[in-house]
């Protein structure tokens, strides 16, 4: 990306990231407050439902950022991650009311929230050239727990949605019809779950490799002030 364009957009990007960061902080704060108010973690989804939907969908912009070059991540990986999150948010959790009170929803919401807070802090501080080592370390270490946690939450939620989808025929088209086409959402969800098997290890090991690259040269980097 030409450096002139980078210079012009970096101010805007920082603002963008700070806004993304604050939104996820809003979700985190919302979660904590609701938990304290209710005394239990059931049904916490409802307290952050709207912000979650809007912020996760807003993350579609992330793909654009990668494509244009503001963010150094790969378009394919980021696109894939954002799409899977948008899918979980709208096509599973929002669409199947019965799973909204499941604990698995909370599991992936917490995982996403913590991940995104760390990630956006990382980007914001990087752009400001004031990256505390702690944030860099956190970004490349917390994923060890957060990734499996998020994946477990996502898979359990999809699994919980299956019987309701089958019963109501949600998003499904049956034969006969004039376009001679059919689609079974229930089978589709099962295929999505199976696709995690080849895909999740790839993403996980990609992060591990990134970690070696970034944190491996600890001796060369001093804490950036």
Shorter beta-carbon distance to another protein: residue 129 or 177: 177
Alpha helices in 170-215 (DSSP H): 185-215
Shorter beta-carbon distance to another protein: residue 40 or 180: 180
**Does residue 154 have an active-site annotation?**
yes
| Shortest CB 128 distance to another protein, Å | 38
| Residue 126 burial (CB count, 10 A) | 18
| Shortest CB 171 distance to another protein, Å | 16
Q: Give whole-number Cα distances, 118 to 110, 112, 154, 205, 210, in Å.
A: 12, 10, 20, 19, 16
Shorter beta-carbon distance to another protein: residue 7 or 175: 175
- C-alpha 10/C-alpha 127 separation (Å) is 7
**Does residue 102 have an active-site annotation?**
no
Of the residues 41, 147, 159, 196, only one is catalytic, namely 147
| Shortest CB 182 distance to another protein, Å | 8
- C-alpha 203/C-alpha 194 separation (Å) is 15
Binding residues (CB under 8 A) for another protein: these are: 175-182
Active site residues: 147, 154
């Amino acid at each position: 990306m030409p450096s002139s364009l980078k210079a012009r957009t970096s101010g805007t990007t920082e603002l963008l990231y700070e806004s993304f960061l604050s939104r996820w902080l809003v979700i985190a704060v919302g979660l904590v407050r609701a938990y304290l108010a209710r005394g239990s973690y059931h049904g916490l989804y409802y307290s952050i439902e709207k912000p979650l939907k809007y912020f996760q969908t807003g993350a579609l912009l992330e793909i654009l950022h990668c494509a244009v070059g503001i963010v150094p991540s790969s378009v394919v990986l980021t696109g894939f991650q954002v799409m899977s999150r948008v899918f979980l948010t709208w096509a599973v959790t929002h669409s199947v009311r019965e799973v909204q009170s499941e604990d698995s929803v909370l599991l992936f919401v917490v995982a996403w929230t913590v991940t995104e807070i760390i990630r956006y802090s990382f980007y914001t501080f990087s752009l400001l050239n004031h990256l505390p080592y702690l944030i860099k370390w956190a970004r490349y270490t917390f994923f060890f727990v957060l990734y499996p946690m998020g994946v477990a939450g996502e898979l359990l939620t999809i699994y919980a949605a299956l019987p309701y989808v089958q019963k109501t025929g949600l998003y499904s088209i049956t034969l006969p019809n004039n376009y001679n086409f059919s689609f079974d959402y229930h089978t589709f969800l099962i295929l999505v779950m199976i696709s995690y098997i080849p895909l999740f290890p790839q993403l996980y090991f990609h992060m591990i490799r990134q970690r070696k690259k970034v944190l491996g040269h600890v001796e060369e980097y001093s804490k950036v002030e």
